[in-house]
Chain A
Amino acid sequence: MAVKSRLAFIGGGNMAEAILGGLLASGYPLSQCVVSEPMQARCEFLYKKYPGLQVLSGPEANLLAVNGSKSSSASSSPSSAGSTTSVQTMISEGSIHVNPTAASLDYPEAEVVILAVKPQVLRSVVSHLGPVLRTKQPLVISIAAGIETHAIARFMAEGSNFLPSELPPVIRVMPNTPSLVLEGAAGMYATTDATESQRNIAESLLRSVSPEVAWVERESLIDTVTGISGSGPAYFFLMMEAMEDAGVQLGMDRETARQLTIQTCLGAAKMAQDATKVEGGDTLKTLREKVTSPKGTTDAAIRTFEAGGLRDLVFKSVAAADARSKSLAAELGGVSTPATKL
């Protein structure tokens, strides 16, 4: 992408911020990003952390983020007086709150809309945005856990006579929070009606913040991506927390235990990653065996883990996240469920 697409984040929570923050850190222009976020406290957090970022809240925020301000779509000059006035009107009417330190009140239409709201509210958010999504035809990327692309399409068409072919295709992404430090891992799924260009744009956005990006061929595998990389950082945080606590229990000061643990995690991951880049590189099993002298200290620990059923427990937990993703999809994507009230 020579010219960076105008992005609209619908929802400004942790995952949205992880991607946005990572993009900005990697040089994405701030002026090409807008965030729509209902919670004022969260908005203020974003204003402070990303000075000049356009953050909108209020009843019309989602619409403005996607549509741009009314006059700018009609006029050729995006900074014509008309567009600023209509936004000003919305502000004085209270239908919009904006970042007081944002560079401008100009809101050109979004080329990419990133749905980053909680799964439970996605349906109502998307059904309200349906008409403008159909009119503007942005690339729609959903990062919401557990909501399937066919459900999102249905929500977009809700209460209308739109044909599926009239609606923008949805690319579903399961990213993860280390995107914030440009070390994300993401799985992606696109329906067949997504064009190659759309897939490329989505992929390149994710690759700016994720060294590892994988397309999956079946949408059900996004649930598995969720169980591995989507939720995975928390598993390692838990493991590291347990190791840090173990160190403290054995007499080490907490800061030393923490720092040694974290660097050990990082070092192991780096070794594992280097091995994948070499033809015929060591598997994780071989890497482990190479550092486990029989009867040594590592051997003692590994035997404890095996005897304690670590592998099974890990499988169970990954499977639990995968299953929860599937059950969210069933709960929230349901055809027979009536629309949730706003």
Chain B
Amino acid sequence: MTQIQQQQQHARLAFIGGGNMAEAILGGLLACGYPLSQCVVSEPIQDRCQFLQSKYPGLQTLSGPYANHLAVNGSTSSDDTSSLITSGSVQVNPTAASADFSPAQVVILAVKPQVLRSVVEDLAETIRSRSPLVISIAAGIETSAITRFMASGLPEGCASVNLPPVIRVMPNTPALVLEGAAGMYATADATLEHRQVAESLMAAVSKQVSWVESESLIDTVTGISGSGPAYFFLMMEAMEEAGVALGMDRETAKALTIQTCLGAAKMAQLSTDDLKTLRIKVTSPQGTTDAAIKAFEAGGFRELVQKGVAAADARSRTLAKELGGAKL
């Protein structure tokens, strides 16, 4: 495929922030054949840039004061790029395949929630002029807030004119092992094509991608799949400890526990039975499983799990209020 064909087939991506989740998505995409030449990462920490450069030889990484802008805007000529480098406004990957920076068609906001506002406000004019699809993977920042940040610098009342659509994603850490679960929400102005692009990006690292029709459900996604891996880590840790307390060696207890978790999930995924039926089918009356399940139920296990999920959901809503900032 020629470079032009690649460009037509695969959108030009700009990752703003090169942390773990950004790297996971980038790595997953590259593993699926996404052309490296269509990806650029803007990352302030030099060490991190070098790490990315060595892991993905030829990857275009940018750092420095002008990096975010260059990643989104592109540069009109290689002369412009050279002068940016000379002036120290941007540092580029010396081994990157080319210094060509065409404008980003998709911008992935992968910075920490706490800095997202200042990053986006700083980029606002550039984003408005290029109008890429904006995808945010930051926890707790609502699309309305991101849209407001993108309007920064515009006179009051001009706000929504020509602002790009925003798609908000709640991914989870198993994306790092290509087994993520992600919830997604798109603003009304996102087209079907926008949604498809966002979905295929997340599908590079997530085996389950679900759209939610109201943004408040992203907090619930947080409570289930966003924070959920930790719930299972805790459950497995408790089972491992139980095994050890009952006389088993730790390694065996751990290995059996983890494989049991994996096996149960696989069965649930492949079965048409619902979870209750799956459980009932393996619970002979008066048997060992029955004894355990009765103990769980008597101890209020269900309610406790539901309480935990609700707590994460509630915290997500509170964070969104804190990070979205006052309207002014």
Contact = CB atoms under 8 A, between A and B. Distances in A.
Given A214-B252, A246-B305, A298-B312, A231 B292 contact: yes
Interface in B283-300: 283-284, 287-296, 299-300
A308 interface: yes
Nearest to A282: B233
Interface stretch (A71-79, A96-104, A153-161, A299-307): A299-307
Contacts of B10: none
A22 B225 CA distance: 29
Contacts of A250: 217, 219-220, 223, 309-310, 313
Contact of B292 (A119, A257, A259, A320): A320
Q: Which of A251, A264, A270, A287 has the most B CB atoms < 10 Å from its CB? A: A264
A210 B255 CA distance: 12
Interface stretch (B11-19, B130-138, B260-268): B260-268
B15 to A, nearest CB: 21
Given A228-B248, A236-B260, A266-B179, A310 B304 contact: yes
In this complex, which of B247, B248, B253, B254 has the most chain A Cβ atoms within 10 angstroms of its Cβ? B248
Contacts of B247: 218, 220-221, 224
A38 B238 CA distance: 40
A174 B15 CA distance: 49
A111 interface: no
Contacts of A310: 234-235, 238, 301, 304
B128 interface: no
Dominant secondary structure of chain B at its interface with chain A: helix
B307 interface: yes
Given A251-B220, A264-B225, A301-B227, A315 B261 contact: no
Interface stretch (B43-51, B69-77, B155-163, B204-212): B204-212
A330 to B, nearest CB: 13
Interface in B258-277: 258-270, 274-276
Nearest to A15: B282
A231 B212 CA distance: 35
Interface residues of A, number: 107
A252 interface: yes
B314 A300 contact: yes
Contacts of B180: 263, 267
B85 interface: no
Contacts of A265: 228, 232, 261, 264-265, 268
Contacts of B174: 264, 266-268, 270-271
B224 to A, nearest CB: 5
A251 to B, nearest CB: 6
A39 interface: no
Contacts of A242: 301-302, 305-306
A159 B247 CA distance: 37
B319 interface: yes
Contacts of B194: none
A201 interface: no
Interface in A287-301: 287-288, 290-292, 296-301
B263 A185 contact: yes
Contacts of B267: 177-178, 180-181, 183, 233
Interface string A314-330: 11111111111100100
B306 A245 contact: yes
A305 B270 CA distance: 29
A205 interface: no
Contacts of B243: 224, 227-228, 318
* Residue in B221, B239, B243, B306 with the greatest tally of chain A CB atoms within 10 Å: B239
B31 interface: no
Given A187-B252, A231-B282, 4 more contacts: A236-B265, A262-B269, A263-B179, A284-B254
Interface of A: 14, 118-119, 145-146, 176-181, 183-185, 187, 210-212, 214, 216, 218, 220-221, 224-247, 249-252, 256-274, 276, 283-285, 287-288, 290-292, 296-305, 308-311, 313-325, 328
Interface of B: 139-140, 172-177, 179-181, 183, 206-208, 210, 212, 214, 216-217, 219-243, 245-248, 252-270, 274-276, 278-279, 281-284, 287-296, 299-302, 304-316, 319
